Chain A
Amino acid sequence: MQPDPGKNRLVYFDNAATSWPKPAGMIEAMGDYSGMIGGSPGRSGHRRSLDAGRIIMETREALAELFGCDDSLRIAFTKNATEALNMALQGLLHPGDHVIASGMEHNSVMRPLRFLETQGVQISVVSCSGEGLLNPGDVRAAIGPRTRLLVVAHASNVTGTIQPIAALGQIAREHGFLFCLDAAQTAGVLPIHVAEMAIDLLAFSGHKSLFGPQGTGGLYIREGIERQLRPLTMGGTGSRSEFETQPDFMPDKYESGTPNAIGLAGLGAGVRFVLAEGIDAIRRKEEALTERFLNGLASMNGVTMYGPPDAASRTAAVSFDIAGVSPSEAALELDERFGILCRPGLHCAPAAHRTIGTFPQGTIRFGFGYFNTEEEISIGLEAIRSIAPGA
């Protein structure tokens, strides 16, 4: 196929960073909020303020339904998964505590952990296989007398590798430490049930597979954990205003300052879209697109794919490289010649790239999403074939 710049068509393969396009309802919800609501939620009793609060409450309820959480007030909103993970890690871990992480973690986990290490927190990073898979037996072997927390990315943002989280949650429960799941790559695309999977803390981002806007995310906190989790930020909550001390209840303890209400209006519409389409249908489509792409890549000489070879063991984020072409050169060519938007480099996850052997050069990542088509996968494969010298 010859590239046709005249069509000016873009193929968006950067959904693992931010999903695009968004459902029509998400854009409408944000427009409606901006045009018709505008009040400060939870800050006064007038109708616009209450309407703003109701919209945020509906977003919380939709997320609680998606994550199998009985009480929507167990979810505190944040600006993204990074902030939620920082809240969990910095709020929970004290000098002398021991924390276990996998060798596939994003810097949203590794950077706070490396900081906490300088404060006296002990860290074990459990190695994963070359495909990025964490063996629960290796996690057991890393447990120590002061293990307080296990933190794991549900799926890698580099290779898409899905971790055996039910087994990991079980290990944490058996040994009496907490399990924090980083669901940045999976919320909205893989089933997550906080009770059934023994998840104590669940960090999610709103702008990826939940189809919200950037600047939205949150942390689910299992009942009782708020008593040991210090908030990162304190301030006005609209509640208990007569006291100068931070409220001790959910979600106010972790939601100081006026929230991103317009963003949460959009996130609510995004989550309702996910609930209406169904996680299974979303997963089936993304898995089929990924499988098509993996099959196409497998037949190309000089192209190396990383992570599990079968689509069922991974999400729709696929890392690969082309012999003789650096990831950044390839990405530029894909953009300029073919209108394909992807992400090259280390994807903020140097640990994961070390695990799969692509540090420091990184890889090219195609992050497929629910709105991509088979035709776009074919365009992607053709483009790679024309860039790869040996294919």
Chain B
Amino acid sequence: MMETPPYAVFLFPSVSHVLKAEKILKARGTPHKLIPVPRHIGSDCGVCLRVAAEEQEAAAAALQGKVIWERTVLL
């Protein structure tokens, strides 16, 4: 079985926040993906932003002060 690289997901209050974060990371060239919020993390119908675990700190630094997020979870 292929090993899944470790990921971190950022959880935001709403899709508007997720999309603003996406724009910031896109402009910065940080690889990322929007995925539905995994069931074991939250029960909301929304999406969250996934980055490689090693990018978590850099992504957080880029988003800091520009868009708020609720928490980050390692997958």
Contact = CB atoms under 8 A, between A and B. Distances in A.
Contacts of B44: 239-242
Nearest to A248: B13
A53 B15 contact: yes
A227 B18 CA distance: 22
A45 B14 contact: no
13 contacts: A45-B47, A57-B20, A57-B23, A61-B23, A71-B66, A73-B67, A238-B45, A240-B14, A241-B44, A242-B43, A247-B14, A249-B13, A251-B14
A53 B46 CA distance: 12
Contact of B15 (A60, A61, A72, A239): A239
Contacts of B20: 57, 61, 72-73
Contact of B16 (A44, A53, A242): A53
A200 interface: no
B35 interface: yes
Given A42-B15, A240-B44, A241-B45, 20 more contacts: A41-B15, A42-B14, A43-B15, A45-B34, A45-B35, A45-B46, A50-B47, A53-B16, A53-B19, A54-B22, A56-B16, A57-B19, A73-B67, A238-B15, A238-B45, A239-B14, A241-B46, A249-B13, A249-B14, A251-B16
Leading 4 A-B pairs by shortest Cβ distance: A239-B14, A42-B15, A45-B47, A45-B36
A42 B15 CA distance: 5
Nearest to A44: B45
Contacts of B47: 45, 50
A237 interface: yes
A252 interface: yes
Nearest to B47: A45
Contacts, number: 66
A127 to B, nearest CB: 42
B17 interface: yes
B35 to A, nearest CB: 7
A241 to B, nearest CB: 5
Contacts of A61: 20, 23
Interface string A2-16: 000000000000000
Given A45-B36, A45-B46, A50-B34, A240 B19 contact: no
Nearest to A240: B44
A240 B17 CA distance: 13
Nearest to B17: A73
Nearest to B68: A249
B54 to A, nearest CB: 24
B22 to A, nearest CB: 8
A238 B23 contact: no
A68 to B, nearest CB: 16
